[in-house]
Structure 1
């Protein structure tokens, strides 16, 4: 079994010094979802919730202007897949959605490549130098039996409202979080109920707080920049090496596609670690996990500890096997008219996926397309 340790003496032959600037471009967004999942734990861990909630609410950053103008948005889903309510009316007018209970939910999880910009710039709604390096649309059905996570390729060529066509990750740079939400809502015709962002330091801290995470590497590879070897089979990764694992793309023939698959594999492994008895029955470890993550998290105002606690109760029976992760089907890669390397959307797949989300039948879509184990 390959083991990558956080011990100071750990080294790899040929490994070069890390470039601090480059380390600002990791897989960040996925872990924002994972913070929520840290709290989505069985009722047996309920004694921890008060303290975890206090840490979450006091240490996370709240995105004050997370959503676009209500008149531009799809209506929220209701039981049975129906939508209702006039634009701007009722609780949704505040930016988010009506009560989350009893209906399907969509959570946009993102991570950004700061490129010298700050989270405050992205969350202000103004343009900045940030890019959404990783995007995941998380769909939780009304019956709370599963969690579906749909990865969106960062180079997906889409229409960005009032900015023409561009790579989807540019929306954050053009108009901050509200424009990114509007772009994803326009792509799928589905309302985003909550938003979460994470900084890479939280990703490293969470992994180390758990004492490392074991990931089954399907085929051996060596990371392009730091020449770190990842042997085939189970690898126990500390935070820094996990970060290298999920951000690597140059070592693979299909680049970002394999990187996304690695990200998904790591999320599943991390979720399993979070829900293990070793974690849940150790109050100090649970406290350390949340404490390590919270300072590096930004969420919309509605995604507070009370909301997460409610989801914890509703999702108390969900286990790692109930989390389905796949990548939005595409038509492969291409080149834009201005010479950029892009990922081409598959309108047929998007339409079918959107219809399944609206009808709260995403499980049927997944089964019909053989996506239970990813793609």
Structure 2
């Protein structure tokens, strides 16, 4: 293959999905307009029930965003000032931000270079008398080793909040991510595997008491209107977004299977290129992002050449959380997290990505690197 001029291929193109689903989506929105139940309406309750059934969990609680889901989970678990929560340095800021927002302290441990997820083997060394919880992130849709996470949590009496912002539909040994710990926190940001057309989030739990507290916290800390028990949040899943998500939920398994197949095709196509390291197709991975590592400090130049050929890409994430200005200098350098930040590059993928886009991406990547 050689690199040729290609059409502009964005890292994620939502237009094909929207075009395909437009009649159903407009009908769903129309039903909300007809009922005018815009806040905590019928579609919110129906969506929560449908998601609970899909996840095989007792409680699914719609909230305003994935960040709010993390914050409310921590609050419901009673985590606050003076507490520590162990998490990964290599993910989006919302993870550590949620810990800081409740007054606790994020404690970072390095990642496993094979998975780019939190390395369970490093957790116990970071546990102190102040440690209250673990917050693993299923990065890029790849499940963390939840068997080891739960073993450590039970051994040390810790709570577990799974950050599933990128892993809706992913499974660890056959069990849905987000249903193994005390809480699963999901995001419905438009780019997610199950994305709304605005903000949205969800909490999942099997614990009745935690679910009751989370529901209270999402509506200003009240179980009964005008009877506020604590300071809560205005964090309700919008009814129109719930209606849209109800249209999309039945299609999720097919979309996730397509993502896995695209990842397989990419891996096969790139197998002879020593300049990049392709992700492993771990069981249960749903490839929210297809993320390669570009070695030899060549990532930024390579991304620029892809852009010249019309191929979109993104760096998730260029700065580890511990290196952000808010936390910089508080932690040692995490070798593998820093390595990932220097090397990772995500290529176009999606539940509706077409053959032309896949072939154009393969042609560009292969042409640029095979020409050397």
**Coarse TM-score class (shorter-chain normalised):** under 0.3
Q: TM-score, normalised by structure 1?
A: 0.25
- CA radius of gyration, larger in: 2
